[in-house]
Amino acid sequence: MHKISLYHHSSTSSFHSSSLLSRSFHGYKQQQTSYYHGSGYYGAITIGSPPQKFNVLFDTGSADSWVVSSYCSSPACYHHHHFNTTASSTYTSSNNTHINIRYGTGYTQAILGHDTVSIAGLEFRCAVAAATHLSPVFTEAPFDGIFGLGLMGLSKSKQLPLFYKMMKHFEPVFGIYTQTTWGEIDFGGIDTTSIQGKVHYAPVVSDAYWMIKLHSFDFDTFHSGRRKIIIDIGTTLLMTTLHDAHLFHSMIPGAVSNGDSTWSLPCNYHLPSLVLHFSGFDLVISARDYVLQVTDNPLVCFSGISGHASGPANTWILGNVFMKKYYTVFDVGRHRVGFGLAKKGNCSLKCMDGHYCPYKIQMADFSC
């Protein structure tokens, strides 16, 4: 995961109780709340008997699930809910098996065990790790752990990810719908009331990442060939290679590098669109999607396109900037990813008094 946190000075909006629940949708909905104004999303699950409640970040870029343990002594653990394994009558240890999960700017160490997990109204017995050490990057995170929705090849614990077990009970697919202040994960089906028009699919080309092939792309007068694309709800921005990001912003008058592979640019919605060409369909990211108003300065905005040098070569990562526009389908059974234009929900960028809210930007990188 790659997180660009847009810190909001007021409290985070809670999940918006919407009318998007479709009578034709027969799957299971997991509600999500955005934090730092849509830079990431978390939802509530319970673990153990009696149930202990945790907020977890759902992440299609990793495959392991963990929460903070009551045995964690790291300062980063202090302000989180702690999983007390001894208080759960259904918890069993895995012979003191330790796992280490490294991220781009941090890591966690955890002890692997098994317990009952409740998510989206369903209960499963599965592997869950109790984190005994967290690096400082997690100190102010508004979640208590990470729920991996990546493919089996990403698992550090070598345990079957929980959502694989969930899929044994219903159609092996889940859809993700996100807006600025809230979101939903649809397990076991697609909620068509959240989509405008047709869903287009591309085959997954990895056993680890939700990765597909991009045939070509256009930005203004620039045209280029193939890239690989990873779809990751745990990433805030649309992240290209460093070279591509530099090239895009060199074509935007007034764009200025922030020195950390991100850019500031004029608040101008008439800038070029980024057009992604796949086999049989195109997806468009317009200036209204990637020009982000993150301060109370109406002249300077933040670019939703950045560069990165981690992960597989010549690979882009499509994060929340992209997923707010496209309802994304993760089809485990058919090993494919689908995209449908998302219907707009409550996506106002303004405070209750009608003025733009003040934000500050902080970089955090949770990328494996």
**CA–CA distance, 130 with 66 (Å, rounded to integer):** 6
Q: Which two tokens stand for residue 114?
A: 């098994």
- Return d(Cα 9, Cα 220) in angstroms, integer: 36
**Residues making up the chain, counted from first to last:** 368
41 Cβ contact partners less than 8 Å away, ≥ 6 residues apart: 32, 33, 34, 35, 57, 58, 178, 183, 233, 320
Count CB-CB contacts under 10 A for residue 161: 24
**Closest among 262, 5, 230, 235 to 104, alpha carbons compared:** 235
Phi, psi of 241 (to 5 degrees): -65, 160
What residue type is assigned to position 80 of the chain? H
- Give yes or no: 59 in active site: yes
Token pair recorded at residue 319: 């994060």
Per annotation, catalytic residue among 144, 232, 244, 289: 232
- Known catalytic residue: 289? no
Among candidate residues 59, 64, 244, 331, the one labeled active-site is: 59
Show the tokens assigned to 43. Answer: 């939802």
CA–CA separation, 210 and 317 (whole Å)? 10
Sign, CA torsion 247/250/251/257: positive
Q: Which residues are catalytic?
A: 59, 232
